[in-house]
Amino acid sequence: MKPRVVVTGMGAVSPLGLDVPSLWQGIVEARSAVGRITQFDPTEFSCQIAAEVKDFDPTNYMDRKEARRNSRFVQFAVAATKEALRSADFTITDANADDVGVIIGSGIGGMENFSSQFRVMESKGPDRVSPFLIPMMIVDMAGGFVAIEIGARGPNFCPVSACATAGNAIGEAMHIIQRGEAKVILAGGTEAAITEIGIAAFGSARALSTRNDDPATASRPFDADRDGFVMGEGAGVLVLEDYEHAVARGATILAELVGYGVSTDAYHVTMPAEGGVGAVKAMRMALRMATMQPHELHYLNAHGTSTPVNDRTETQAIKTVFGDYAPQLAISSTKSQFGHTLGAGGALEAIVCIKAMQEGLIPATINYTTPDPECDLNYTPNTPQPATLTSAMSNSFGFGGHNVSLLFRRFED
């Protein structure tokens, strides 16, 4: 028997709020966090909307000097990590630091820093480029700086698998704990890609919604009138812990991570494989690891980006995996509320899954008004639904054909 891996703490920075309680309150209220972009003037852009993190002050979480030297995506990761540690009531000391790891990924990293410093080089010359550009830009710096900030000396690396990043971070952290290479791992993802070049690039790929006149309804997964995803930003971090270690220190266990499925479509750089064959493999792998039958799953937090092809193929994949049970399975996409946070999505949505089990509430897919004949499952339209939940799956699929499914179970001793 492999060691059990449990969740003992959670931290979040999201467009719905700067901590887990605020994130969950937004879910309960079925509130949209999408609005007109304020971080730059979007007037000339085809997409002028996003789900931004508001009122975030990095100096509430880190030294002012370090805040200036770190990118927004790193700042988010530090904030989420410190909340997660408080939530877990866990203190890192010299005695336990070697057993504490940090695996926090990012899909894009410090895109804004690269853009701004490139403009500096063009206008003022190469000698004026910031010496902090490289550590501000590279995607591994979130996990690296978090480890420095909290003093964790265990396994530390940064998965990068586009929108599957945080899911991979959490799943690989589970494997590391099961191999006995760490007792505790801070795992998740972070992203801050609401930048001029980010919006321009995704806009040019025609991936973003252009419902600029009504931002709050722009993210509409599985709806027939969906026209693209809405960019979000934020960070999510889970404290994953060896079960016996958690019990020995008297930790409050929030949930158990029982399944992790990972696959690759090997099909296209941006499009999912028709029929969702990679997603099928990931979901089946997670169920198999959890020794669960499909009909035993109570809730599925879908990847559900609000793009025409993704939502259709994910629906096809769900039907393949769950068969006759698929129409009864409670499904929702919380991206309808806080947008697509790219490399942070898997962690924020894992937190939503755990809160859903704790609170007995299925989150809604808001903005669902026009049924799509090709997306004909129960997406929990518009209003959260009370339910007794003992299991929840979170899907994360990324450009490049990356697929991750995480499966959590309500903790039972």
Residues classed as catalytic: 163, 303, 340
| 333 Cβ contact partners less than 8 Å away, ≥ 6 residues apart | 221, 222, 301, 302, 303, 304, 305, 306, 365, 379
Upper half-sphere CA count for residue 324 (Cβ side, 13 Å):
0
Beta bridge partners of 330: 299
Answer positive or negative: Cα dihedral of 278, 279, 283, 289: positive
Report phi then psi at 74, rounded to 5. Answer: -70, -40
d(CA 306, CA 286): 24
d(CA 163, CA 168): 10
Torsion of CA 113, 38, 146, 81, to 10 degrees: -170
CA dist 199 to 6, 195, 339, Å?
Answer: 37, 6, 13
CB 176 within 8 A of CB 167: no
* H or E element in which residue 346 lies: helix 345-359
d(CA 6, CA 354): 11
d(CA 256, CA 150): 24
